[in-house]
Structure 1
Amino acid sequence: MDAQLVFTLGQQALTQLLTVAAPLLLTALGVGLVISIFQAATQINEATLSFVPKIVAAMLVLMLVGPWMITTLVDFIRRLLMMIPQVVG
Structure 2
Amino acid sequence: MLTPEIAVDLISHAVQITALIVCVLVIPSLIGGLLVAIFQAATQINEQMLSFLPRLLITLAMLVVGGHWILGTLMDLFIQTFRQAGGLVG
Give TM-score scaled by structure 2 length.
0.93
Gaps of 5+ in 1: none
C-alpha deviation, 1:55, in angstroms: 1.0
* Structure-to-structure mapping, 1:33-44, within 5 angstroms: 33-44=34-45
Following the alignment from structure 1 to structure 2, what is the Cα–Cα distance between the partners of residues 46 and 9?
Answer: 45
Cα offset for 1:47? 2.5
Asked if 1:81 corresponds to 2:82, the answer is yes
2:8 aligned with 1:7: yes
Give the drift of 1:25. 0.7
Q: What is the one-letter code of the residue matched to 2:69?
A: W
Percent identity of paired positions between Structure 1 and Structure 2? 31
Q: Which moved more, 1:54-63 or 1:44-53?
A: 44-53
Identify the residue that residue 62 of structure 2 maps to in structure 1: 61
1:6-25 matches, within 5 Å, as 6-25=7-26
Considering Cα pairs closer than 8 Å and 6+ residues apart, tell me whether 1 or 2 has the greater RCO: 2
Q: How many residues get paired?
A: 89
- Which blocks of at least 5 consecutive residues in structure 2 are unaligned? none
TM-score, normalization: structure 1?
0.94
**Correspondence for 1:31:** 32
